[in-house]
Structure formats: structure tokens, C-alpha cells
Structure 1
Amino acid sequence: MDLEAVRTFVAAADAGQFQEAAAALSITQQAASKRIAGLEKDLSVRLFTRTARGVALTVDGQAFLPHARELLRVADRADASVRPGRRALRVDVHSRRVAPAVLLEDFYRAHPEIDLDVVTLTADVAGAIAAVEAGTVDATFHAVTMPARDLPATIRTARVIDETHELLVGPAHPLANARTVTPARLVRHRIWMPGMDPGSEWAAYYAELAAAFGLTIDVIGPSFGNESLMAELADSAELATLVGARSRYLWPDSYDLRRIPVRDPMPIYPMSLIWRADNRHPALGRLRAYLGSRRADLSGTEVWTPRWRR
């Protein structure tokens, strides 16, 4: 069905005249009449009768009018769902607990007029890049481990987050009362991170971190979720885990868990915003500018980053 003919029909029904409908649509009266005649031919009914004052809907025209309005509403929603600037910016944060989700929420608080659609894709960096390339999402946050030459030609990245680490331990752990810890102090302690996907970029990061400082990072065993992990930490004098400094975790007060910054050097997990070069959504540029302004200045700070940092 010709949507422009339907739009002309609705305009003529509202105005009661082809001439006024044509003026409202910035077309000639002849063009308006031709569109409606074509619509009547397609439907095999008469939609209007001529009167002394203009035109009036026939019984068929009255029956068709509410459906015609709905057709136009659906068409407008379909257009808005894909047109940059009229649809929400769709961003993957992988997990709603981690730094990208926190920063994206801060961005929304600073710019509440921007529509956001926040999703959590269960994908590593390669899968997330494929989603961006396919247009499933406008942008994603991941550590980019591959060299730029191996990225698709349409993909752009910018390092926007340098996430520092904290040691998470229960009250009985030997380091529970430390104000900060160095990587060297963690050598004799078991860092438990069960269920880590060995093929993911975060697994590659922690493997390199462990090798650099001689750490024991235990990934053996299934993951029963963060709540289970924190319950285990609260009851243990041996277990510890590493969390991002800006990640969000909640636990009962009775757990008395401690978050202890890791310093000297400060390990950095580098995350990039990933997007398509031809994405013209106006909110994407504003998000990139905001993230650039929020990136921490670590000049003068002793840091450690993986060799593949980007």
C-alpha cells in the first residue's frame, strides 16, 4: 500500500477538502487527487464523495480512516527506530556492575535528554565487534587485544577507561586491615576468579598480570554468581578476588567485606569504546566526548598495563 496515498487520504479526511490537504502536504491538488484515486483503485472502493463544501467520507472511507491513522503511526515508529537522532543510542556494557555501566549512567545523568538503550551482550571482544559491525548495537566497551590491522575496516576504537583494581576480601583475611596492597604482597595469596572463560580478553589480561607478578589466580570451578562468591569470601581467611575500582557490588553488612586498592604499581585494565566509522547517531559523538573528559589522568603514577593495551 502506498503510504503517501494513505497520508493524503488522512489529510483530506481531516481537512474536508483536497485543496487544503494538498497545501498541508506541499503538493498540488492534482497530485492529491491522483494519489487518492490510486488508493481507491487499490482498495476497490470509493473513499470520498464530493459535496458543495468539498469532500466527505463514504461509509468505506469512515471504516478505513482509523486503520489508515494506525498505518501512519506504525510507519513513523518504524522510521524513528532506525533514523539516527530519532531512536535511542544502543550501547552494550557487557555487565551492569562494571565501570562502563557506571560511566554510562553518569553520562545519562548529565544528559537526561538523550535516549539510551543499555544492553548486556554475552560476548567477548570479537563477538561484540561483530555486533557493532552488524548494527546490532551502536557501541560497546571492551579491552581490544588485537592489533588495529586485524580489525574490520568499518570499526573504530578509542581507549576511554583505565580501570584500576581493588582486592576484595573477608574480615578474617590477613590483608583485611591493609589500606593498600602492592602486587608483590599478593604473591602468597590465592586470588579466586572461578568460571573465567579461557578464550576471553579478560582471561588473557589476568594471565599476563599473574605472569608479570607471580600471582596465583585460581579459575577452577563453576561460577555460581557474584552473590555466592561474596558469601565465600566473607567466610574465608584465605580467599580473595580482584574487582574493578568502579564496579558495583552489594552485600549484607554482616559480611564485612573489604575493598583494598592495589598500588605500586597500579595494574590497569584498559577498555575502549568501539563503534562503526559510518555511524552518524548524534548522541554517539556526545558520548565519546564525555568519556574522553572523564578518563583519569594517571601521569606521574606508577602503573602496569598489558602488552596489548590499546
Structure 2
Amino acid sequence: MDLQQMRYVVAVAETRNFTRAAERCSVVQSALSHRIAGLERELGVKLFARSSRRTELTSAGAAFLVGARECLAAADRAVADAAAATGVVRGRLAVGMIVTSAAVDVPELLQRYRSQHPHVRVALRAGGSDTLAAAIRNGELDIAFLGLPEGERPSGVEAVVLDHDEHVLVVPAGHRLAGTSQVTLQEVAEETFVDFMDGTPGRAQSDQAFAAAGLVRDVAYEAGAALVTRLIARGLGIALLPSAFIRPLAEEDPELALVPVVDGPRRIEYLAWSRFNPSPATRAMLDVLGVGRQV
């Protein structure tokens, strides 16, 4: 058994197709199939159930896949650590971010990081703060940029505060409240709202503010950040969104108007990572962000 065989197994498991797996591994399909068949003979089990149309892991294959991924990750880490000892950062960096992140210009950060560490392969994933924090705990992500309601901190990960922000009311330009100097939650509770999916940290920020004020509102539309602003512009509802995120967008969109909210939600943006044995690539990113001394 060798690492290349494990890479082939992982590729087939992820693509569910021997041809696509061979293309990913830059090898002819016959060679990949031969190596996997040899591994199956060595192990005495079938790793894949195959037909002319489908390829799936067997129960033995699913069990083997877990250890194979761990072995490959350990091998990649060994290579990265050896390179780091010579002053060269290599390996892979998995970054997560919420789509409303505003405390850090993530694309600019990734460009700067790549210019300093061109041998690191960076992967970026967008998602909710709770799922991104879980991905760090599970080892799927190295770092992430999160946003949580005031008073909450990411659980099970290391974190530093990047920024504090207040939500503003976002309304269509022709709305009765457009141009108002400020509003309270009481004054807008009867409106139809657009917001993020129920159960997400982005939604919780507004839900908690209304609950604290003893108010109930109607959230008719649940969507992602890009669709939220489009629904508002069409006059279908209003929303409470982090000011640092929405202000640059509203400045370029005449169909949107922003109104300060006296008792609105507040958000804290965090940088989160795992303190458990961070990779050289992770340490390098923390250094770029100026928090490397906290590792």
C-alpha cells in the first residue's frame, strides 16, 4: 500500500467515476483501476461497488476512506513542515467567510497572501458562521471570518474580534421611511421583512433584537445576501443588515435607502482558527493578518 493508491481511492470516492478520477490524478484509467484492484487484493475487501453506470463506496471502502484522508493529510503536513524549516511556506490553506464579511477585504488579503507565499494552494468557502466554525473544529477549514450577534463568541475555536458593527434599515428608495433620520424597531415591526434563513447566525441577530424589544415581525422572504437586496429594491420588503456590508452597495444602487435604527441589532466580526497544531500555511496567514503572536 502506498500514498498514490490512497489518492486514487479518494479521487474515485469524490468523483464516483473512474474516468474522472483518472483525469484528476493525471493518469490513464487502466493504470488507476489496476492500482485500486491491487489494493483491494492486498486488503482482502472490495472498496467500490461498480456497474456500467454507477460507482459507489462499499462499507469497507467508506471505512478505508477515513483513514486514507488522514494519511494523505499527514503526508501533506510533513512536506509543508519540512519546507517551513527552510523558510518556504507550502501546503494548502482552507479559508471560510460569511458573504457579509466587511471587517477585512478578503479578496485583497488573499492576493497579498499569495504574493508572499506563492507555493500555498488557497481554497475559499462561503457559508454561515455556525457551519464555518464547525468546519474549523472538524479540521475542514484552517481559518474563517465570522459574524455573530453581540454577546456571542464562536465556540470551540480560537477567535479575535475584528470589528463591531450596527445594523441599519434597508428600504426601497420610494419607501415611506426613506430619508428618515432614524427609526425604532417598534416603528417598523408591522412591515414585511426580507432576511436570511431561519436558524442562521445572520438571521439570529435581527430575531434576537426584536425578541428583546418584545416585538414580533413577519419575515416573508428568506434568501442569501445578494438576493435580499434585489428583493428590497423591488419593493417586496425591508431588511436589517450590517452597516459596513450594505453601505458600499447602497452607495452604488439608487434603488436602496438606508435608515439608522436606534435599538437595532449589533454584530461582532471575528477571525477564527484552531489552536491545535496550526499548519505553516495557517501561521503565515495569521502573520499577514497581524495576529500571529496569538498562536
Please state which band the TM-score falls in when normalised by the shorter chain.
0.5 to 0.7
Q: What stretches of structure 1 move > 6 A for 4+ residues in a row?
A: 75-78, 81-84, 145-148
SS at match of 1:202: helix
Quote the residue 1:17 is aligned against: none
Q: Distance in 1 between matches of 2:211 and 2:95?
A: 33
Normalised TM-score (structure 1): 0.52
Q: What displacement does 1:136 show?
A: 1.6
1:185-264 aligned at under 5 Å gives the runs 186-190=187-191, 192-194=193-195, 196-198=197-199, 200-214=200-214, 216-221=216-221, 223=223, 226=225, 228-236=227-235, 239-247=237-245, 256-264=254-262
Alignment equivalent of 2:109, drawn from 88, 107, 118: 107
SS at 1:164's partner residue?
Answer: strand
1:100-179 alignment runs, 5 A limit: 102-108=104-110, 112-114=115-117, 117-125=122-130, 127-143=131-147, 151-152=155-156, 155-178=157-180
Mark the CA change 1:205 to 1:283 in structure 2 (over 3 Å): closer, same or farther. Answer: same
- Segments of structure 2 that go 5 or more residues without pairing to the other structure are 4-74
- Which AA in structure 1 matches 2:274? R
The one-letter amino acid of 2:212's match is A
Residues 250/91 of structure 1: CA separation in 2 closer, same or farther (3 Å cut): same
CA distance in 2, matches of 1:208, 1:147: 12
Take 1:240 and 1:177, find their aligned partners in 2: how far apart are those partners? 14
Helix, strand or coil at the partner of 2:105: helix
Q: Is the 8 A contact 2:195 2:203 kept in 1?
A: no
Following superposition, the deviation at residue 275 of structure 1 comes to: 0.8
Distance in structure 2 (CA, Å) of the matches to 1:98 and 1:174: 29
Contact 1:187 1:216 in 2 (8 A): no
1: CA distance, partners of 2:126 / 2:212: 30
Aligned length: 210
Aligned partner of residue 132 in structure 1, secondary structure: helix
Residue-by-residue CA offset, 1:240-262 (whole Å, 9 max, x unaligned): 112222326869x8x73234252
- Computed over aligned residues only, the root mean square deviation of the Cα atoms, in angstroms, reads 4.4
**Whose Rg is larger?**
1
Measure, in 2, the Cα distance between the counterparts of 1:165 and 1:262.
Answer: 8
Amino acid across the alignment from 2:271? L
Distance 1:217 1:288, change over 3 A: farther
Q: TM-score, normalised by structure 2?
A: 0.54
> 1:103 deviation in Å?
2.8
Alpha-carbon distance in structure 2 between the residues aligned to 1:76 and 1:216: 51
CA distance in 2, matches of 1:215, 1:256: 30
Contact 1:144/1:201 (<8 A) preserved: yes
Supply the AA of the counterpart residue of 1:166: V
How far is the alpha carbon of 1:269 from its aligned partner? 0.7
Structure 1 unaligned segments of length 5 or more: list them: 4-74, 293-310
Shift of 1:206: 1.8
1:262 aligned partner, one-letter code: P
1:208 Cα offset (Å): 1.2
Distance 1:83 1:275, change over 3 A: farther
**2:25 match:** none
